Amino acid sequence: MVNVIKSDIYKTIKSTYFWVLSIIMLILYILSSCINLHFVNKAFIQAGICTNSFFLYLSSIPNSTYLFVCLFIMISTGLEFSSGSIKNIASKGYPREFLYFSKLICALLALVFYMLICAVGFLVCTQIMIGNKIPDFYLMLPDFASLSFLYTLQAIAYISIALMLAFLLRSSGISISIFCIFISMASILGSVIEFIIRRIQGIEFSIEPYLLSSCTLSGSEHLVRTIIVLLVYTLIPLIIGIYTFKKRDIK
């Protein structure tokens, strides 16, 4: 498995689209950070208070990077299926689950890399735009660790779903389209399910804590439940992806 991981990492480093996505992501993140910091600075000057924090923005970096990692893993996997690269590797006798986990590990390493460059970019932005003008801006949040952990788990869950789609559909374009539909329609579908349950069962029920897009908003008081929900969203696509990849032929 180590050889497969090394091969995937090497292909990632050599791929043009990985670095193109990195540059696009960093530019967009810096622009959005500068806009947000401008309004934070303006609000502080006007009101003399700071309601935002450097560490609050820092903890949300996984939310700003997961989409680009998902795009990367779906593009790379789709290209390997279309070029026959995965078939050649599988023909050498490597277990299918090794190939799958290698892609997952490569995606997680990409997530770490993207998070690091965004963190550095945000630090530079804050030093330029905020500096020492808002001392409270750099105070450590008491729930910084838990927020960062939950947002990272959420990003991993999205990556797991994207990887499952890439292996199921074996086409970059189709998997990206389905993934975008999932992101945009999940909350709407959740609202419909919530409405049906309320009408049929006649009970007050909120599906928001169980949606991948909003479960991290539940707060620290529901930390265990949120972790369980995120693990379910991660493990089920992982199991489905590995099972179907082992059962289907590689054309």
Q: For 166-179, what is each residue's pLDDT tens digit?
A: 999 988 889 999 99
* Structure confidence at residue 153 (pLDDT): 93
pLDDT digits 0-9 by tens, 117-129 = 999 998 888 888 8
Q: What crossing angle do the helices spanning 16-47 and 96-129 adopt, rounded to 10°?
A: 40
| 145, two tokens | 């660790």
Q: Can you give the pLDDT at residue 203?
A: 67
**Percent of residues, the chain, with pLDDT higher than 90:** 33
Least confident range of 47-61, 68-82, 146-160: 47-61
Please give the pLDDT value at position 74. 93
Whether 44 contacts 133, CB under 8 Å: yes
What pLDDT was estimated at residue 98?
87
- pLDDT value at 46 more than 60: no
The predicted structure's pLDDT at residue 9: 86
Q: What is the pLDDT of residue 94?
A: 76
Domain borders along the chain are 2-247
Give dist(CA 84, CA 79) in Å, integer: 8
- Over residues 205-211, mean pLDDT: 74
Band of residue 47 on the pLDDT scale cut at 50, 70, 90: low
Higher pLDDT, 205 or 39: 39
- Average pLDDT (225-233) is 91
- For the range 130-135, what are the long-range contacts, defined as Cβ-Cβ under 8 Å and sequence gap of 24 or more? 130/37, 130/40, 130/41, 130/54, 133/41, 133/44, 134/40, 134/41, 134/44, 134/50
